[in-house]
Every structure is written in structure tokens, then in C-alpha cells.
């Protein structure tokens, strides 16, 4: 199983993401409710994937992504937000983020984002 760190300041979103990721054969190794804890838990657990909310207290998701990519330029990050502006998208892409999910969360949106990050998995399963 692949591992994931869920980062969102909303407990209900973290709970929903945990259930959806479980359906996609991911194991949640840690959760964080802000960007500072996200960095700490990324370094501690080194998950295969990070889901990051954009707007959080202490450090935003993009600020946390910046720090995570400093430690691991190959990190796989999915940015999850309720409002994806062009500015946010461009800033995230410059950092190295390759995929986004706009809330509300659905299994289909998550699967599409995961396939975008892992095209070889899609080819293997569906090819």
C-alpha cells in the first residue's frame, strides 16, 4: 500500500479524505491541521503522497509545499482547495505541484488526481 499525509485544518475534510484514500488503497500515516505540522510530519513519515489544503493557519498549504519540495523535490503533492484561482494555480505549479482538487471532494476527483500523479499505475490497471 502507498502512504499519505493528509493536511487540512478541517477535521471533517480530513475524515472524508481518509475514507476516500482508503478506497484507493492508500494508508494514511499521519494528519496535520496546519502547514507547520505538515512539514514536521512529512519529514517524520516520508509518505508517498501529501494532500494539502491551501488556506490554513500558521503556514498555508503553498508555504508548506515550498518547504516540503526543498527537502524532497520529487514529493507528490495534491493541492485541495475550495477556490482555485489562476494565481494560486500558477504559484503552486511553480513550486512543483502537478495536480489539484477543487472541493467538494469526490472519489472520482481523487481518482483522477491520483492517476495524473501515477500514470504508470493507470496504464498497469487499465492498459
Query: What's the predicted TM-score (pTM) here?
Result: 0.90
Q: Does residue 30 carry a pLDDT above 60?
A: yes
61-71 vs 35-45: helix crossing angle, rounded to 10: 30
Grid cell locating 90: 500558477
Structural domains in the chain, CATH included, are 2-126 (3.40.50.2300)
pLDDT of residue 83: 86
Per the structure block, which three cell numbers stand in for 37? 505540522
Interval 106-124 mean pLDDT:
79
pLDDT of residue 119: 67
Q: Which pairs count as long-range contacts for 99-104, CB under 8 Å and 24+ apart, including other chains?
A: 101/51, 103/13
Amino acid at each position: 500500500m502507498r502512504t499519505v499525509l493528509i493536511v487540512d485544518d478541517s477535521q471533517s475534510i480530513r475524515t472524508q479524505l481518509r475514507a476516500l484514500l482508503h478506497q484507493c488503497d492508500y494508508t494514511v500515516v499521519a494528519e496535520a491541521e496546519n502547514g507547520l505540522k505538515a512539514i514536521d510530519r512529512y519529514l517524520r513519515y516520508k509518505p508517498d503522497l501529501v494532500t494539502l489544503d491551501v488556506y490554513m493557519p500558521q503556514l498555508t498549504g503553498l508555504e508548506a509545499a515550498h518547504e516540503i519540495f526543498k527537502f524532497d523535490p520529487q514529493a507528490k503533492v495534491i493541492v485541495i482547495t475550495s477556490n482555485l484561482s489562476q494565481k494560486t494555480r500558477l504559484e503552486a505549479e511553480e513550486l512543483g505541484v502537478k495536480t489539484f482538487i477543487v472541493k467538494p471532494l469526490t472519489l472520482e476527483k481523487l481518482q483522477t488526481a491520483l492517476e495524473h500523479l501515477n500514470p504508470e499505475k493507470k496504464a498497469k490497471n487499465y492498459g
